[in-house]
Amino acid sequence: GAGVSQSPRYKVAKRGQDVALRCDPISGHVSLFWYQQALGQGPEFLTYFQNEAQLDKSGLPSDRFFAERPEGSVSTLKIQRTQQEDSAVYLCASSQGQEQGGYTFGSGTRLTVV
């Protein structure tokens, strides 16, 4: 596609519910990042994939968060047993090679846990 596509754009979940957020990067992009952006804050790193390999998951806040990219293209961020503090915008970014920070971001999924 022309850009990084994320779905759904908005998600409301009841506390305790599991959610899955999807990121469809630009075709051929090797690297994929997930960030969490709380209201009024800057994005914070969650995890990084190079193709299907998850090279860094140091930013995942708890074992309730899980990300996968099984075929090296589409990625899914799963949050189990959602809590109110999980409410945030989840941004995905991708790049073709070593872009040195010039990543293409999607428009994010706004998750609200009620």
Partner 1 sequence: AQTVTQSQPEMSVQEAETVTLSCTYDTSESNYYLFWYKQPPSRQMILVIRQEAYKQQNATENRFSVNFQKAAKSFSLKISDSQLGDTAMYFCAFMKPLFGANSKLTFGKGITLSVRP
Q: How far is the CB of 50 from partner 1 (least distance, A)?
A: 6
Q: Are 113 and 19 in contact (CB under 8 A)?
A: no
Report the residue number, 14 or 53, with the smaller CB distance to partner 1.
53
Helix, coil or strand: residue 64: coil
Cα distances (angstroms) measured from residue 78 to each of 29, 55, 67, 69, 99: 21, 17, 6, 11, 27
Contact positions vs partner 1 (CB under 8 A):
31, 33, 35, 40-45, 48, 50, 55-56, 59, 89, 91, 93, 95, 98-103, 105-108, 110
Report the residue number, 51 or 76, with the smaller CB distance to partner 1.
51
